[in-house]
């Protein structure tokens, strides 16, 4: 009985972790907490066009539209179908009639209850989870006051103890969504040093113009509140451009000004702008040479190339590659349609170099260790130290290398004058790097990790012939 009572006392803390630190809150959670009841009436009013939509909460935590009876798990999906709209945040759309408050407010009460239950346990006093909850509550208040917090993607990730957009991305998006927050622009589709706003969807999300004026990323507003937007593994144009502005000249500039700016910054092109959203073209070394070759007394206007391409920051990079191959650069629009960045073929080459280098370093390491073991031992010896069935040397993985080389007898027979424990510890670090590389996260592998791979390869090449 004592153990059962202990489990009951521990349950609220576990429940708060489950709700706040892992997934998105659902209407079913509100039912389970007694904050909603089956049969609760919901109302969605679009004041601008004078229309109202009605729904009820079912005993399974679904939203049933009136009068057609169609049911949805997602408040946003229910609102979108009811109103025939492309994008709605259902938590901010549906009013709980008998409580006189939005579903979002009920969700916030659930989060507060869960975090209070977590804090009630002495061992959980002032936890990272509680601090994160309060941090997001403050961000939400600022967003509601139309003073959204600005933060770099790198600093945003650090709130969850993350250094890149790896395995924690879905959790981060869930925690933000639970507090009614989105980032503008989307933190997935930009560089780690890009500044984003922690904001809420617009009050009237059906009006696209309002979203643009408010600086809200329309794609973020459209995300499904059940996590439908979590699967986003694209490499975007914005992942290569920090969206911090472009070097530019005005249409009535001079050759000297343009040439000086390009020389000082080692640029091959400049944007020609008359206002942050009015791109008039580009001036390049090629366009200058072409204009002056055709007409020695050419004016600066003659050197402006009006055939430029502009893409949105969240555009799939692979879709833009043909244009880059032909034009060598594209200008990038941010979430408010300003010309805020540029991506060149050199940027693409650099990024693919960053992505490919650790991949090839790991391949070199794998082949070298396999070659060393095949020279020093037969497959029967290797197989005895693996925790799985291995028929050939080609089937060995980094985990297998660890298990084989951590054996004292194998290490002695290998004859390397190195410390076995230190070597195996570094191999474990490399195994973790390998897992990150093979998951193809959008952020480059850190330079220190790449250097570990290079130094490890250098070491095993130095001693490989001793085997």
Q: How many residues belong to the chain?
A: 467
The DSSP letter of residue 236 is B
Distance CA 390, CA 152 (A): 47
Distance CA 306, CA 283 (A): 9
Q: Which two tokens stand for residue 299?
A: 């004016």
Q: What is the pTM of this model?
A: 0.77
Cβ partners under 8 Å of residue 56, min gap 6: 39, 40, 41, 42, 63, 64, 66
At 305 the three-state DSSP class reads: strand
Collect contacts of 35-42 with beta carbons under 8 A, ≥24 apart: 35/106, 35/109, 35/110, 36/96, 36/106, 40/96, 40/97, 40/98, 41/96, 41/97, 41/98, 42/94, 42/95, 42/96, 42/97, 42/103
From first to last of the 467 residues of the chain, give the pLDDT tens digit: 333 333 333 444 444 444 555 788 999 999 999 999 999 999 999 988 999 999 999 999 999 999 989 999 999 999 999 999 888 899 999 999 999 999 999 999 999 988 888 777 766 656 788 889 999 999 999 999 999 999 999 999 999 999 888 778 888 999 999 999 999 999 999 999 999 999 987 654 444 333 333 333 333 333 455 555 444 557 899 999 989 999 999 999 999 999 999 999 999 999 999 999 999 999 999 999 999 999 999 999 999 999 999 999 999 999 999 999 999 999 999 999 999 999 999 999 998 888 889 999 999 999 999 999 999 999 999 999 998 898 999 999 999 999 999 999 999 999 999 999 999 999 999 999 998 888 767 788 888 999 999 999 999 999 987 76
Residue 402 is predicted with a pLDDT of: 94
Residue 214 is predicted with a pLDDT of: 35
Distance CA 173, CA 187 (A): 10
Other Cβ atoms less than 10 A from the Cβ of 86: the count is 12
Residue 234 is predicted with a pLDDT of: 76
Residue 159 is predicted with a pLDDT of: 94
Query: Are the CB atoms for 255 and 291 separated by under 8 Å?
Result: no
Q: Which two tokens stand for residue 406?
A: 């951590």
Domain extent listing, the chain = 2-106, 122-237, 239-337, 348-466
At 330 the three-state DSSP class reads: strand
Query: Are the CB atoms for 62 and 48 separated by under 8 Å?
Result: no
Query: Are the CB atoms for 438 and 422 separated by under 8 Å?
Result: no
Residue 227 is predicted with a pLDDT of: 55
Q: Cα dist. 169→21, 179, 317 in Å?
A: 12, 16, 20
Q: Which two tokens stand for residue 449?
A: 């990790």
307 φ, ψ (degrees, to nearest 5)? -90, 70
Burial call 2-19: b when 16+ CB within 10 Å, e when fewer? eeeeeeeeeebbebbeeb
Q: Are strands 248-249 and 269-273 parallel, antiparallel or unpaired?
A: parallel
The DSSP letter of residue 454 is H
CATH entry 3.10.20.70 includes domain 239-337: no
Nearest alpha carbon to residue 453 among 356, 361, 352, 354: 361
């Amino acid at each position: 009985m004592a153990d059962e009572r202990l489990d009951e006392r521990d349950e609220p803390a576990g429940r708060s972790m489950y709700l706040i630190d892992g997934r998105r809150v659902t209407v079913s959670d509100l039912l389970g907490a007694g904050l909603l009841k089956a049969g609760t009436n919901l109302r969605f009013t679009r004041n601008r066009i004078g229309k109202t939509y009605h729904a009820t909460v079912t005993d399974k935590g679904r939203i049933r539209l009136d009068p057609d009876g169609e049911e949805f798990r997602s408040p946003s999906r229910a609102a979108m179908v009811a109103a025939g709209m492309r994008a709605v945040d259902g938590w901010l759309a549906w009013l709980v009639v008998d409580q006189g408050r939005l579903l979002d407010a009920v969700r916030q009460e659930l989060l507060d209850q869960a975090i209070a239950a977590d804090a009630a346990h002495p061992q959980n006093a002032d936890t990272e989870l509680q601090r994160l909850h309060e941090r997001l509550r403050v961000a939400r208040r600022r967003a509601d006051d139309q003073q959204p917090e600005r933060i770099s993607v790198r600093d945003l990730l650090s709130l969850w103890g993350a250094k890149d957009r790896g395995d924690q991305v879905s959790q981060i998006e869930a925690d933000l969504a639970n507090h009614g927050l989105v980032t503008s622009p989307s933190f997935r589709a930009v560089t780690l040093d890009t500044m984003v706003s922690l904001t809420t969807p617009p009050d009237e999300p059906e009006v696209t113009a309002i979203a643009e004026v408010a600086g809200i990323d329309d794609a973020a507003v459209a995300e499904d509140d059940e996590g439908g937007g979590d699967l986003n593994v694209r490499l975007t144009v914005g992942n290569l451009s920090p969206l911090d502005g472009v070097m530019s000249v005005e249409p009535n500039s001079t050759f000297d000004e343009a040439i000086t700016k390009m020389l000082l910054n080692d640029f091959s092109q400049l944007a020609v702008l008359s206002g942050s959203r009015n791109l008039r073209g580009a001036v390049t070394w090629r366009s200058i040479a072409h204009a002056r070759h055709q007409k020695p007394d050419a004016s600066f206007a003659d050197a402006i190339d009006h055939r430029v391409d502009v893409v949105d920051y969240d555009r799939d990079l692979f879709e833009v590659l043909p244009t880059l191959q032909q034009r060598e650069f594209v200008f990038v629009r941010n979430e408010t349609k300003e010309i805020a960045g540029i991506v060149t073929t050199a940027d693409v080459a650099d990024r693919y170099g960053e992505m490919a280098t650790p991949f090839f370093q790991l391949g070199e390491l794998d082949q070298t260790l396999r070659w060393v073991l095949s020279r020093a031992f037969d497959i029967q010896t290797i197989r005895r130290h693996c925790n799985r069935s291995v028929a050939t040397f080609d089937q060995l993985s980094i985990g297998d290398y660890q298990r084989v080389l951590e054996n004292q007898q194998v290490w002695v027979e290998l004859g390397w004058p190195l410390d076995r424990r230190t070597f195996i510890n570094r191999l474990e670090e490399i195994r973790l790097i390998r897992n990150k590389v093979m998951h193809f996260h959008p952020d480059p592998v850190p330079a220190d990790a790449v250097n570990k791979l290079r130094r490890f390869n250098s070491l095993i090449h130095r001693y490989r012939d001793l085997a």
